[in-house]
Structure 1
């Protein structure tokens, strides 16, 4: 028997073999169990995530003996025929090479024929977005009202290129990129089955480089076995594919958090001279910073594949910076990644991005000054007071000199005079017993006696003559009070600054 690559040899055969797509598998199994089968399905997702494998498994479940059923036997004849692509009832069509109107017209002619062996006639069109608009329009009527024995299954990596009229007639399933942990575990399983010693660090490096695609990871493992033989370690993975090790990523992140620009630049230079892919290095840096930021908000998250001891050291170093500062560094790297995508000198842009990131971590912002001042004010011995606004300070009232020299004394109570017949308030009709203000001040004793309780008078109280207006005293400069503020004085001493008047 000829050699079969890992991607074909370990292709999923049943729903339980599909990895990382639990939401799709559960929906399809429930639909089969409840007999709620749609006439058209659309599988969307990146390359290598299981679109074709899931379509074939669904076809097996529909046409298996005693079907439709989700727990079919993958080794029975009809399921083996579907898996090998030689079943007369399951037609696999390449949308890239059969994208014209004529091909769709032929398909419409064949849908009328009953299935040869199974219960349904299934049409699987891969890369369906490659069909022309005319071909889509020719397929609309058949897709909306197909015969009862016909099922359509479409697969695409670019759903935005499909007409909305086609999308509305299908049940859409989005297949997600497979997590790196799941890919690494599956690679270790394949290695055990093949008798290959695959180190865990190497499996993780392959999974990170596969970027969510199981088929890509299996193809890389196949290539590594051909290159290394029966033992594959992380260094082999880095040498063959130019990936960046987790230790290198941790070194750059540690130098960045320590604001050690020479070490970070030296690491980038070493990676560039070794032929590493700098865009992949930048992506790893962004992923590690993202993991640090998430760990600050949720301590239960992992270290994105970085060893535990190194990850603990990086977390301790990141505690010196607030989360918003780490977010600013991620923004700097994101802009660098956009520039590196089209730049010929990627190393230059990566080095500039590292220098900017170090400056971002070391710069002093207004929010930092406010936090420092707020912390200082809490430790001041005297409470911090602020000068009142000028408008809120009442103007000083003029005080006679005589009053300043001699303390004011309440006058002796005087019996109220008999009420006058007319206008008692007039000055010329006052009784001789009523003293003027000047006389009261002149006759006041040196030691004032306690004032007795006031006696109610029947006549209105006497009002003294208004004193002549005097010029108001000059107002104090409010800025002088501002400069004397303890909080401002402390800030000036800490930052060794002066205020210009």
Structure 2
């Protein structure tokens, strides 16, 4: 399925059916494997004690074939198919349709990908099919035209620091917008936990750039799912009254935020609820 090999997938399903495999059990096993694959992509060590080494190698090879948001879509599709199969007399037929539909969906562009491409075309950063490629400046000079003179900039040149100043201003503006977005997300929600892994690094046209540590890539893929991106873009629209497309960028130099330092053991004693409980029950805390 992940390699989009439809005939081979259908043949394998027929082999399982002819050998007497229960279709409902096979569908349940498939969904369970996709769930393990999802967990493996988020945290490879999470299943170390639950599966053998051969299964871990299989998960590692399959994890490279599919993105997290696509994997979530597959699980949803097969879970819906499992519900239809439960009361269907011809369960194999529904299984076949589910496999074909899943492979077909993997080959389709997602709405986020379409919006991103449209944004690139609008900003002039992508070349439409059939459009002539931009000619390098060096090639134009070789045809006898006026060759550009090399220019040098010194530290005292007034324009030397202009790009850096502009870049800093854009970054500061993006940080201010991002703080407004975070303020609208419930502090203990899963979306907020994932959003804390990224930080704004600027804007590019209508793309709101969120940077993250390369070490957090697997967790940020969950934030990049269709539903989470849609929520973030909706909050950005509320904060700025403009349409944005969220883009995630792995960038060296950004510290990993997936593992927070453990708070000192004594710090919980200062919690107001703990203090109230101590007074109410006349209790003492012993270490």
Asked which structure has the greater CA Rg, the reply is: 1
Give the TM interval when normalised to the shorter protein. 0.3 to 0.5
TM-score, length basis structure 1: 0.24
Q: Which one has the bigger helix percentage? A: 2
Instruction: Identify which of structures 1 and 2 has the higher relative contact order when contacts are C-alpha pairs closer than 8 Å and 6+ apart.
Output: 2
Normalised by the size of structure 2, how large is the TM-score?
Answer: 0.41
